[in-house]
Structure 1
Amino acid sequence: MNIQTVWSDFLSRFNQSSNALRCERKVLAGASFLYIRKYDLKPTIENDIKIHSMKSMENYRLHSETIFVRETDIHYVFRHRFFVPQEKMFCCGNLCEDCIRFRT
């Protein structure tokens, strides 16, 4: 699995949606930021990010996280990332509640 494939799918979906004017990804200090032109209220844009993220991740075991950073005259800036969930892959013998033995 390549995260770049998920990113390119997400950006193309977001930019092709009827509401979006332009969404651009910039990587600064290893963190990915979305610069989105203002076209609607912030909650609506956050919802669009969530919807397009879910559609881009549906064939992969990934999670996404979006954090609002700032607002300028023409852009909203969000820190957005896709990541692989960290889950236990073996039983450690401590009878944990989320033990892999209890999965069905």
Structure 2
Amino acid sequence: MKGSAYMDVNDIWKRFISLLSEEPGVIDVYWKKSAGIPFLYLHSIKADRHEIELTIKKCAVRSMRGKRLNAETVFVRSDNGKWVYRHRFYVPQQKMFCCGNLCSDCIRFR
């Protein structure tokens, strides 16, 4: 089943964590699932939440390049340079048929 259309989310996560760990100021980074929800743990010398989130977004975009994926990052908590985010990669939902309600994103307009 491997081919150009095949995608493993674990490979995306590995690339994402690798890219994050290479960022300047990042001391340690890993992810784990808790109750089925993926959490990103990041230890950084950067103290600005906005800067941390831009770094996460930049690395997520680079790790998803060429794939039809989206990423969602939600701040959970921070303490002494240790940041926790709920982070996930997901396939965007798209309409597959016309329901007849004249929706702006109707399949007929593609």
Q: How many Å separate the matches in 1 of 2:29 and 2:49? A: 14
Counterpart-to-counterpart distance in 1, 2:32 and 2:38: 6
Cα drift, residue 74 of structure 1:
4.2
Partner of residue 13 from structure 1, selected from 16, 19, 30 = 19
Listed as ranges, the gaps of 5+ residues in structure 1 are none
1:45 paired with 2:49, answer no
Cα distance in 1, alignment partners of residues 29 and 67 from structure 2:
23
Distance 1:73 1:45 in 2: 14
Matched, 1:4 2:25: no
Distance 1:3 1:31 in 2: 14
Aligned residues: 103
Q: CA RMSD in A?
A: 1.2
Q: Distance in 2 between matches of 1:100 and 1:25?
A: 37
Residue aligned with 2:32, SS? strand
Structure 2's unaligned 5+ residue stretches are: 1-6
How is 1:28-67 mapped onto 2 (pairs within 5 angstroms)? 28-40=34-46, 41-67=48-74
SS of the residue aligned with 1:22?
strand
In percent, how many aligned pairs have the same letter?
45
Query: C-alpha distance in 2, partners of 1:95/1:27?
Result: 40
Structure 1 residue aligned with 2:3: none
* Map of 1:69 onto structure 2: 76
Question: What is the rounded CA distance, in whole Å, between the counterparts of 2:25 and 2:85 in structure 1?
Answer: 17
| Offset of residue 32 of structure 1 | 0.8
Deviation of 1:73 (Å):
2.8
Whole-Å Cα distance in 1 between the matches of residues 80 and 32 of structure 2?
A: 18
The whole-number CA distance in structure 2 between the counterparts of 1:72 and 1:82 is 25
CA gap of 1:97–1:74, structure 2 versus 1, over 3 A, is: closer
User: 1:60 corresponds to which letter in structure 2?
Assistant: K
